[in-house]
Amino acid sequence: MTFSKDFIWGAATASYQIEGAAFEDGKGLSVWDRFSHTPGKVFMGHTGDVACDHYHLMEQDLDMIKSLGIKNYRFSISWPRILPEGVGKRNEKGIDFYNKLIDGLLNRGIRPMMTLFHWDYPLELHKRGSWENSDSPHWFLEFASLCAKQFGDRVKDFIPLNEPACFIGMGHASGEHAPGLKLPLPASIAMGHHALKSNGLALAMLRQSVPGVHLGYAPNANPVMPFTNTPEDIQAARKAYFRVSDNPASWYWSASWWSDPVMLGHYPQDGLKLYERYLPKGWEKDMPLIHQKLDYYGQNIYHGQYVKAADNSLGYEVVPHPRGIGQTASGWPITPECLYWGPRFLYERYKTPILITENGLANQDTPSLDGKVYDPGRENYVNRHLLALKKAQADGTEIAGYLYWSLMDNFEWAQGYAHRFGMVYVDYESLQRIPKESAWWYKRVMETNGENL
Ligand code: GCO
């Protein structure tokens, strides 16, 4: 068995990471605009003010996407670009920008896959309490409805939320990301619930108002993988993957907390035991709304951790990575089997085709004297991860597709421009784009539907 005929091959980006034009054409501010301008928050004081300047270079980028053979392109909407204050008055120039992007994609035969929210939360709504405010799901619904109305005639793939674990946890609990808050548990857990409710409201609305829509989700949680293929180790890994952490400082790193409510209609039992008391009053009545049918269940997967069965209270123990394991330029271990076990365990639990909404690596890329950018490390990484995904499919896991993160080098959040995740190299001074050698290799993979792997 191989990848399905209608396998979704493509690449992904996010608005704040590539667009630039942060203060132009009526765009409102996001929490990232403020955070990146706060001294000490982002590597070397980098900001997304210009980023890849995709806002101005969009036509050229569209031609590039086409030339790279990318048929499915996942991008996100900057909420304050189209609703400068988050709700209320809309910004026509922002809406025009996305209309041109969508039309440009469709004219070139590329399917637009729209993430509604990839972290650039409107600063005005942040001031009103952001996700903690019980009105916030309705603010999100207003934004999502505007997107459905303006773009839903042409866009048929919507992913309302990207990685709630990160924008709630890293944004509002650990404070490493915008808006940089370190809130106590009751606040951050309530925020998480409101984010899930926002997701539910948006999904239900999109299902109703966009004919022929496909709906997804893009959470993240590093897969846990069995050290050996014994049933005991496999069960230990499954258990560890879906366990909710009892460490209050890292409660949000959990596959099940963010996905069981959406996919199964309830919070995981172990999580409720620990954190139910922090959920907002009346949370139970939101569960039917939070529980929505998805057409594909997305996951952003970059690396995983091995465990083996153990005779302790958890039933498993972490197996350290082998000495000298390959690492990406961001220090992440290279563990290709994460694209086997992650999808397999998620499919078993949620019974919905798996879309890899992000996978990729940061690499030390720099143009050579001949002007080309050689990145065999990226080819090796993607090749190995795709083989693992192919094996998962062969073993019965339904895989909807694979989107490489990222189309081009971009603003890597708190790491600024230090990490290059792109298939296309970006010179941030001249804004020149150079497809890396891996991009041409990936083009062949997509053309042959992975047959050449
Ligand atoms: C994500 C992030 C991306 C990152 C990528 C690499 O969805 O994880 O949203 O924006 O750039 O994951 O860290």
For the cut 90, the answer to whether the pLDDT of residue 382 exceeds it is yes
For the cut 70, the answer to whether the pLDDT of residue 45 exceeds it is yes
311 contacts: CB under 8 Å, gap ≥ 6: none
d(CA 212, CA 353): 17
Percent of the chain with pLDDT over 90: 99
d(CA 262, CA 196): 7
Establish whether the linkage from the previous residue to 209 is cis, with ω within 30° of 0: no
**CA 249 to ligand 1 centroid distance, Å:** 21
Mean pLDDT (the chain, rounded): 98
Strands (E), 240-310: 297-300, 305-309
d(CA 49, CA 37): 9
Catalytic residue, from 124, 163, 379, 437: name it: 163
Percent of the chain with pLDDT over 70: 100
**Closest to 409 (Cα-Cα) out of 444, 369, 362:** 362
For the cut 80, the answer to whether the pLDDT of residue 337 exceeds it is yes
284 catalytic, yes or no? Answer: no
- What secondary structure does DSSP assign to 359-379, as a single string? ----B-----TTS----HHHH
Question: Dihedral angle at the C-alpha atoms of 98, 100, 432, 301, nearest 10 degrees?
Answer: 40
Catalytic residue, from 85, 132, 358, 437: name it: 358
- Hey, what amino acid is at 443? K
Question: Atom of ligand 1 at shortest distance to CA of 14?
Answer: 10
356 contacts: CB under 8 Å, gap ≥ 6: 298, 299, 300, 301, 339, 343, 389, 399, 401, 402, 403
Question: Atom of ligand 1 at shortest distance to CA of 410?
Answer: 11
Question: Atom of ligand 1 at shortest distance to CA of 162?
Answer: 7
- Contact 14 CB / ligand 1 (< 6 Å): yes
For a substitution probing ligand 1, which of 16, 46, 75, 300 has the most ligand atoms within 8 Å of its CB? Answer: 300
pTM equals 0.98
pLDDT per residue over 259-301, tens digit each? 999 999 999 999 999 999 999 999 999 999 999 999 999 999 9
- Contact 358 CB / ligand 1 (< 6 Å): yes
**Helix crossing, 338-350 with 376-394: angle to 10°?**
40
**CA 311 to ligand 1 centroid distance, Å:** 36
Establish whether the linkage from the previous residue to 179 is cis, with ω within 30° of 0: yes
Judging by DSSP bridges, how do beta strands 424-426 and 433-435 pair with one another?
antiparallel
**Closest to 229 (Cα-Cα) out of 322, 176, 327, 308:** 308
Question: 320: how many CB neighbours lie within 10 A of its CB?
Answer: 9
**Domain ranges for the chain:** 8-447
The residues pairing with 425 across neighbouring beta strands, listed in sequence order, are 434
The CATH label, of 3.20.20.80, 3.40.50.720, 1.10.510.10, 3.30.70.20, for the domain at 8-447 is 3.20.20.80
Unique residue bearing structure tokens 């909407």: 77
For the cut 70, the answer to whether the pLDDT of residue 1 exceeds it is no
Token couple for 338: 């994460």
Question: Atom of ligand 1 at shortest distance to CA of 17?
Answer: 10
CB 176 within 8 A of CB 249: no
For a substitution probing ligand 1, which of 120, 412, 417, 419 has the most ligand atoms within 8 Å of its CB? Answer: 412
pLDDT per residue over 140-193, tens digit each? 999 999 999 999 999 999 999 999 999 999 999 999 999 999 999 999 999 999
pLDDT per residue over 83-95, tens digit each? 999 999 999 999 9
- Contact 405 CB / ligand 1 (< 6 Å): yes
Residues in the chain: 453
**Closest to 358 (Cα-Cα) out of 382, 327, 332:** 382
Q: How confident is the model at residue 2 (pLDDT cuts 50, 70, 90)?
A: confident
379 catalytic, yes or no? Answer: no
- Contact 163 CB / ligand 1 (< 6 Å): yes
Query: What are the backbone angles phi and psi of residue 127, rounded to the nearest 5°?
Result: -65, -20
Token couple for 176: 């490493």
- What secondary structure does DSSP assign to 92-142, as a single string? HHHHHHHHHHHHHHHHTT-EEEEEEESS--BHHHHHTTGGGSTTHHHHHHH
pLDDT of residue 3: 94
- Contact 404 CB / ligand 1 (< 6 Å): no
What's 16's DSSP letter?
Answer: H
